[in-house]
Amino acid sequence: MRGGWVFDVKKWPLFFLLLGVAMHGRAESFRLPDGEVLADPTRPMGWRADGVAVSGAPSRPAINVDSILYSTSRKVATINGVTLAEGQQTGAVRVVKIEARRVLLDWRGQRWYESVQGASQDALIIRR
């Protein structure tokens, strides 16, 4: 008689049942409460469940800086309609620093500056 459970036909239904449970429970992505979607880190870069490859890494989210309120006692920026201070975040984008004319943002380790849309260098600054 051969040893091992692989050749025991009576145990095959259990094998397929366990395989089905494992395949049903696999996670391809996970959505956080703030809306950010985390992809499965074990999948190859550019992989999608439908088998169609996507090009490159995910692009950073669209950001619209609506206004900046900057003073010595208060630094606030309105981004995508949400008022934020330094250190706060909207979705997966965190406000690192607020300056008089621009905001330093961080998304997944990438940092960049955004300004108020349509504002020129001589935009209105009110000082008291």
* pLDDT greater at residue 41 or residue 25: 41
pLDDT of residue 97: 96
Strand 65-70, strand 75-79: pairing: antiparallel
Backbone angles phi, psi at 102, to 5 degrees: -155, 165
Whether residue 83 contacts residue 59, with contact meaning beta carbons closer than 8 Å, is answered with no
Q: How far is CA 76 from CA 16, 21, 39, 82, 105, in A?
A: 57, 49, 32, 10, 13
Q: Give the span between the Cα atoms of 119 and 16, in whole angstroms.
A: 62
Specify whether the CB–CB gap between 66 and 116 falls below 8 A.
yes
What pLDDT was estimated at residue 98?
Answer: 95
0.75 surpassed by pTM: no
Q: Which amino acid is at 44?
A: P
pLDDT in tens, 74-86: 999 999 999 999 9
Return the higher-pLDDT residue of 59 and 6.
59
pLDDT digits (tens, 9 = 90+) for 26-62: 555 667 777 777 766 676 666 666 655 555 667 888 8
Q: Looking at per-residue confidence, does 94 or 8 come out higher?
A: 94
